[in-house]
Structure 1
Amino acid sequence: MTDRRRYGDAGQAFPIYITVVAGLLFLALVYFAVGQATVNRSGAQTAADAAALAAAQDTRDQLAGEWVKAVLDPNEWQEILTGHGREVRSSCWRAAELAAQNDAHLLEGACRQHFLDYTVRVETNSPMGESVVPLTSTKHSKASATAVIEPRCDIGPPAADADAGALPVLTCHGEEWNLDPKNPTDLPEPQDLFDVHLADR
């Protein structure tokens, strides 16, 4: 009698065991799918960040180039430092380049410049992959980012002991640049004139 009960209990426990194992396996597959999606979304955000920064850095370099050309005309300095360079072209091509290097692409019309910032939106080239979650095999992650160009310099009057016709003193994060109008060779670099960073999300 005891043996029959033991075998009967074992037979009843077996379906429960199978159900529990199947449930755990399903949960493991779901966690794996969530992990795939997280990695894909992270890749999209990395591509968006890189694209926005690349576009902003290219524009920063263009503005710095214009500033160097206008170094003897201080009336132009403020315009350039506030992003109103006359010859600055869109740097969305750089955003597209960096997105492609990160296995993504810019969405149509999703690179916008507003003077000293760039906002981009990208989509990953690769889908999230096959999983137990429906539609992930064809779903692509999207992400957006904004990069900001900030002037680092203040324009002050010429030094008190400067000769007539001296250029204004340019102070960039505490460092003074006393430029010689007759020999303006020691000039700030683009990173001295402007800071480029991602906007807070």
Structure 2
Amino acid sequence: MRERQHGDAGQAFPIYMMMVAGLLFLALAFFAVGKAAALRNDSQGAADAAALAAAQQARDDFGPGFLGSLPGNALDAFLVAPFAPPCAEAQRLAEANDAKSELCYPTPGYLRDKITVEVEGRESVDSPVIPGSQNKKSKAKATALIEFRCPNPIAVDSTGDGVIDLTTFTCRSGDVIKIATAEIGRPGLWESVSRTLFDVRLVDQ
């Protein structure tokens, strides 16, 4: 009987080791999946921040051209003109979130411009149970919309001399903005009106 018990124990030991090895492999695999998901979330956050930063910077950069178009009533021409996306700002925000900007490009459209940023995280999954994971880095993409919220402005020539001296914007939000031609060069004017004139937000690709 004793010899049989020792024999059973000897047979069970390899099975036990296989079970432990299997559980260890599963634990490492679950850890790798969890790390990959976390890195993916981090990269998506970096892409979102980078796209928003680029769009907000683009809105700020619109100021001189937008205000300069008002005296000549050339706003439509300004709104359809192509613009260069501030990709340096996108790169700065991507790096601040431990990623790097791989692509940054605009999709122009009348009253609705978009900036898309694609980023790659700097940290790899690097799991011992997933071949090639030491070089596997998460990627993500985000698109920010720059939308003109105050269409159909009214330009007024109050003196009849053919020069526009006041432009009134009635926005979808109900806000009314009046920009006098004489104030166009006033410091801080664009800063005070840009967030009402243009909405910046993330959108689905």
C-alpha deviation, 1:77, in angstroms: 2.5
1:67-112 deviation line (CA, Å, top 9, x unaligned): 2344434x122333x3527xx54311111222222222222xx221
Partner of 1:106: 101
C-alpha deviation, 1:120, in angstroms: 2.0
Q: TM-score, normalised by structure 1?
A: 0.79
Q: TM-score, normalised by structure 2?
A: 0.77
Structure 2 CA distance for aligned equivalents of residues 83 and 94 of structure 1: 23
Structure 2 CA distance for aligned equivalents of residues 54 and 83 of structure 1: 22
CA contact (8 A) 1:125 1:140 kept: yes
C-alpha deviation, 1:18, in angstroms: 2.3
Structure 2 CA distance for aligned equivalents of residues 62 and 83 of structure 1: 15
Partner of 1:154: 151
Partner of 2:74: 76
Q: Extract unaligned runs of 5+ from structure 2.
A: none
1:142 aligns with 2:139: yes
Structure 1 CA distance for aligned equivalents of residues 135 and 182 of structure 2: 63
Other structure's SS at 2:42 match: helix
CA contact (8 A) 1:63 1:83 kept: no
CA contact (8 A) 1:152 1:195 kept: yes
Structure 2 CA distance for aligned equivalents of residues 119 and 158 of structure 1: 33
Q: Pairwise CA RMSD of aligned residues?
A: 2.8
1:178 aligns with 2:171: no
Q: Return the structure number with greater strand share.
A: 2
Structure 2 CA distance for aligned equivalents of residues 155 and 64 of structure 1: 18
Percent identical: 40
1:121 aligns with 2:118: yes
| Residues 94, 179 of structure 1: alpha-carbon distance in 2 compared, 3 angstrom cutoff | closer
